[in-house]
Amino acid sequence: MIRPLIAPSLLAANFANLQHDLEMINDSEADYLHFDVMDGVFVPNISFGFPVLEVARKHSKKPLDVHLMITDPDRYIDAFAEGGATTIHVHYEACTHLHRTLTHIRKMGCRAGVALNPHTPVDGLEDVLEQLDVVLIMSVNPGFGGQSFIPHTFRKVAKLKQLLTDNRASTLIEIDGGISIKNASALLSAGADILVAGSSVFGAQDPLEAIRQLKNSHQPMVA
């Protein structure tokens, strides 16, 4: 079985000591650093932007997985690509010309991702699969960390996996919101490849161990 890719979400880090938390992630088995950008319009919260991106780029050795929870994301794709993003996710609900936006993200040298709000069906992606490296399924309504996982996500992941298989697409499936060791293995069985985790990592007594457990969550738990 393939081990999942793990992306700790910086939103849940200790901003009073970001360098410490970034170094913890560097020392961990995490595969990416998930970077949530919120504009207070697309979602009812404002998080962080370019000054924090610069800190992350300086101190993080992990590829940056940037999730743009903003309206009109086209305005900022070049800046995030030049700022060091490896992957840029735009929201399906925020893009009028999704095909063009995804093509542009790739042209800027990044992997192209689309994030789906919990109410957005996966079917609308069929005509952009060739432009798409990863789909970020939101398992909470975006805007805040620490929310409860929406159980409907299991069916949605399975449906997307089927769509990708039917189209012979190599697009990865990433899940974000309320992820912990409790739901990780069921999500992987449904077809997820990448797990984003905020509070279950940074709220743990031992964040390194929490990341290690998520990384090994494809294996049956030993009682």
Ligand X SMILES: O=C(CO)[C@@H](O)[C@H](O)COP(=O)(O)O
Q: Is 117 in the site for ligand X (CB under 6 A)?
A: no
Options 4, 5, 6, 9; binder of ligand X; rule CB under 6 A: 9
Q: Which of residues 181-200 bind ligand X (CB under 6 A)?
A: 196-200
Nearest to 149 by CA among 176, 189, 188, 173: 176
Q: Is 207 in the site for ligand X (CB under 6 A)?
A: no
CB 195 within 8 A of CB 6: yes
Q: Which is nearer to ligand X, 116 or 140 (CB)?
A: 140
Contacts made by residues 208-211, CB under 8 angstroms, sequence distance 24+: 208/24, 208/27, 208/28, 210/181, 211/6, 211/8, 211/25, 211/28, 211/29, 211/30
Q: Which is nearer to ligand X, 37 or 77 (CB)?
A: 37
Q: CB under 6 A: which stretch of 15-23, 50-58, 124-132, 171-179 binds ligand X?
A: 171-179
Output the smallest distance, CB 166 to ligand X, in A.
28
Options 12, 85, 110, 122; binder of ligand X; rule CB under 6 A: 12
Q: Which is nearer to ligand X, 163 or 181 (CB)?
A: 181
Q: Which is nearer to ligand X, 12 or 85 (CB)?
A: 12
Read off the DSSP letter of residue 74. Answer: G
Options 86, 103, 117, 147; binder of ligand X; rule CB under 6 A: 147
CB 63 within 8 A of CB 32: yes
- The pair of three-digit structure tokens given for residue 132, joined into one six-digit string: 């798409």
- From the CB of residue 118, how many other CB atoms can be counted at a distance below 10 Å? 15
- 111-116 and 134-138: which strand pairing? parallel
Q: Is 21 in the site for ligand X (CB under 6 A)?
A: no
| Rounded Cα–Cα distance for residues 104 and 97 (Å) | 11
Residues that bind ligand X (CB under 6 A): 9, 11-12, 34, 36, 67, 140, 142-147, 176-179, 196-200
Q: Annotated binding site for substrate: which residue ranges?
A: 9, 67, 143-146, 176-178, 198-199
